[in-house]
Amino acid sequence: MIGSDFTGVGKYGDAYIVKAKPIHAETLQHQLRPSDARECMIAGVTPWRALMSAFGDKQHETYTALVNDQPVMMFGVVPEHELVGSIWMLCNDVVDKYPKTFLKFSPAIVEHFQSKYFLLQNVCPVDHYKTLTWLGYLGFMIQPKIINQNGYDVLRFVRCQETEYVNMYGYTQPGIS
């Protein structure tokens, strides 16, 4: 399943992807990488609240990556609008031990969510260089304007569906492909 097809569940390299469950959040909340825990703090929420917020909205699609039957990552999209979703991911340091697995399935996950939303977006602290580099690899554009969130500098990142330009009535405008 590694590559262009993300079905939401199954084996992806060394990881199993399953629908997220509250027990995954309960375990992962205490194991987040320092950078992930800091992102929660900047957002003004505890790791527990950030991970559990996924279960309060029936439209929120959330998954857990398991390695050796232990949750190492939770990710998903929070619907902001029918065309806009806030993509997120929180994980522990085990993902750093399996870089090929996570690098290979990450683009397929983004494509899966992008097929459901015209725009995927969120923010990232300006000093999280590794995350910003990874977001660029996944095709996100990092907006250059620094935003202040709860006293911390963050950058907005966005990714849009492919568009094609159509000529309607003499005006050229984007159309969703």
pTM, whole model, 2 decimals? 0.86
**pLDDT tens profile 153-171:** 999 999 999 865 555 555 5
**pLDDT tens profile 68-126:** 999 999 999 999 989 999 999 999 999 999 988 888 889 999 999 999 999 999 999 99
The alpha-helical segments, DSSP class H, found in the chain are: 22-28, 34-43, 47-52, 99-114, 129-137
CB 150 within 8 A of CB 128: no
The Cα–Cα gap between 108 and 21 comes to 22
CB 125 within 8 A of CB 38: yes
Burial bucket for residue 86 (CB in 10 Å: 0-12, 13-18, 19+):
middle
Show Cβ contacts of residue 137 under 8 Å, excluding neighbours closer than 6 positions: 103, 106
CB 157 within 8 A of CB 121: yes
